[in-house]
C-alpha cells in the first residue's frame, strides 16, 4: 500500500494518464485539488473516501497523506497538471520520504505545454523558440524582469492573471520589445476555454474579462496559432 502523487492533467478529464486513471479507480482515499475535474474524482470507487483540498494547509495535507498511507490505504493525491510543475508535489514527496511512507509520482500532462497547445501554440516551434521558461507569477513585483527579458525563446507565466498589467509593464521596462506577441488562455482544454492575443502593450487590457485559471504565453510562437487557425481540429472536452 502506498501513496500515489498523480497528475490529473490540465483540465479536460480525458487528459489524465492511463496509469493515473487506473490507480484512481482502485484507490481507498482520494485527496484532490480545486482545479481537478469533478469527472475524475467520480472515477474513484464509491467506497473511497473523498477529501477536497478546500482550505487544508500544506502541513495538514502532508499529515493526511502520511496518516492514511501508514494505515495501509491506497491513497491517490490528485493534483492539477503535473505534480512537480508548480504543484508542491516535491514537498509532499519529501514529507512522505521523511516519514518512511512508500510513494510513487505519476506524471501528468502539464498546462505548461498543454494549454498553449489547446489554442494551437507550439511552445518550442523549431526555428522560433529553442527554449521555454516557466515562471510562477503570483507575486509579479518580485520577478527578475531583466533576466526574463533576456531569456531566449518562449516565456510561460503561471498564476499571473491578477498582476498581468504589472507583468507586461515589467517586461517592457526591462527591454522586452513592446511588439512581442502574447496570449492569455483561460480554462485551457475545458469547454469554457477562452483566448486573447495581442502585443505586450495591450495584452493586460484585452484580458480583463478573463477568469483564472489562466496562463500567459509571451513570444513569437504565439503567431503560429494564427497560421494553424481554422485548419486545426478542436478537441472537445470529454468525460473520462
Ligand atoms: C498551482 S499551478 C499548478 C500547475 C500544474 N501543476 C500544471 O502542471 O499545470 C496553477 C496554475 O496553472 C495554470 N493552469 C492550470 N490549469 C490551467 C488551465 N486549464 N488553463 C489555464 N491555465 C491553467 C494557471 O496559471 C494556474 O493558476
181, pLDDT greater than 60: yes
Q: Which residues contact 107 (CB under 8 A, 6 or more apart)?
A: 7, 17, 82, 83, 84
35 CA → ligand 1 middle, Å: 8
CA distances from 221 to 60, 118, 240 (A): 41, 14, 31
200, pLDDT greater than 90: yes
At residue 226 the predicted structure's pLDDT band, cuts being 50, 70 and 90, is confident
Q: Which residues contact 67 (CB under 8 A, 6 or more apart)?
A: none
At residue 232 the predicted structure's pLDDT band, cuts being 50, 70 and 90, is low
239, pLDDT greater than 60: no
What is the structure's pLDDT at 225?
86
94 CA → ligand 1 middle, Å: 22
49 CA → ligand 1 middle, Å: 25
Q: Is 106 in the pocket of ligand 1 (CB under 6 A)?
A: no
pLDDT tens-digit series, residues 31-65: 999 999 999 999 999 999 999 999 999 999 999 99
How many whole angstroms separate alpha carbon 32 and alpha carbon 29?
10
Q: Is 127 exposed, middle or buried (0-12, 13-18, 19+ CB in 10 A)?
A: exposed
* Ligand 1 atom at minimal distance to the Cα of residue 108: 8
What is the structure's pLDDT at 231?
56
Q: Given ligand 1 and candidates 58, 79, 111, 188, which is best to mutate, with the most ligand atoms within 8 Å of its CB?
A: 111
Q: Is 80 in the pocket of ligand 1 (CB under 6 A)?
A: yes
Instruction: Report CA Rg, the chain.
Output: 19
**Mean pLDDT, residues 135-161:** 97
157 CA → ligand 1 middle, Å: 10
Q: What is the pTM of this model?
A: 0.94
Contact 185, 112 (CB under 8 A): no
Contact 202, 162 (CB under 8 A): no
Q: Give the least confident one: 1-5, 87-91, 185-189.
A: 1-5
Q: Is 4 in the pocket of ligand 1 (CB under 6 A)?
A: no
Mean of per-residue pLDDT scores for the chain:
94
* Ligand 1 atom at minimal distance to the Cα of residue 112: 9
Amino acid at each position: 500500500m502506498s501513496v500515489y502523487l498523480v497528475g490529473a492533467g490540465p483540465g479536460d478529464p480525458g487528459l489524465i494518464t492511463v496509469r493515473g486513471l487506473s490507480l484512481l479507480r482502485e484507490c481507498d482515499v482520494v485527496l484532490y485539488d480545486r482545479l481537478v475535474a469533478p469527472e475524475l474524482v467520480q472515477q474513484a470507487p464509491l467506497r473511497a473516501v473523498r477529501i477536497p483540498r478546500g482550505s487544508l494547509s500544506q502541513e495538514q495535507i502532508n499529515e493526511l497523506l502520511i496518516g492514511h498511507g501508514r494505515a495501509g490505504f491506497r491513497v491517490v493525491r490528485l493534483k492539477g497538471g503535473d505534480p512537480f510543475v508548480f504543484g508542491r508535489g516535491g514537498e509532499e514527496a519529501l514529507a512522505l520520504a521523511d516519514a518512511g511512507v512508500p510513494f510513487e509520482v505519476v506524471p501528468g500532462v502539464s498546462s505548461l505545454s498543454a494549454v498553449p497547445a489547446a489554442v494551437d501554440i507550439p511552445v518550442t516551434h523549431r526555428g522560433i523558440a529553442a527554449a521555454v521558461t516557466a515562471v510562477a507569477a503570483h507575486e509579479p513585483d518580485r520577478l527578475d524582469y531583466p533576466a526574463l527579458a533576456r531569456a531566449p525563446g518562449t516565456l510561460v507565466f503561471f498564476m499571473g492573471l491578477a498582476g498581468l498589467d504589472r507583468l507586461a509593464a515589467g517586461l517592457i521596462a526591462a527591454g522586452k520589445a513592446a511588439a512581442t506577441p502574447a496570449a492569455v488562455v483561460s480554462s485551457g482544454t475545458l469547454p469554457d476555454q477562452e483566448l486573447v492575443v495581442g502585443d505586450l502593450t495591450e495584452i493586460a487590457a484585452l484580458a480583463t474579462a478573463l477568469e483564472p485559471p489562466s496562463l500567459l504565453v509571451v513570444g513569437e510562437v504565439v503567431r503560429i496559432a494564427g497560421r494553424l487557425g481554422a485548419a486545426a481540429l478542436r478537441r472537445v472536452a470529454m468525460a473520462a
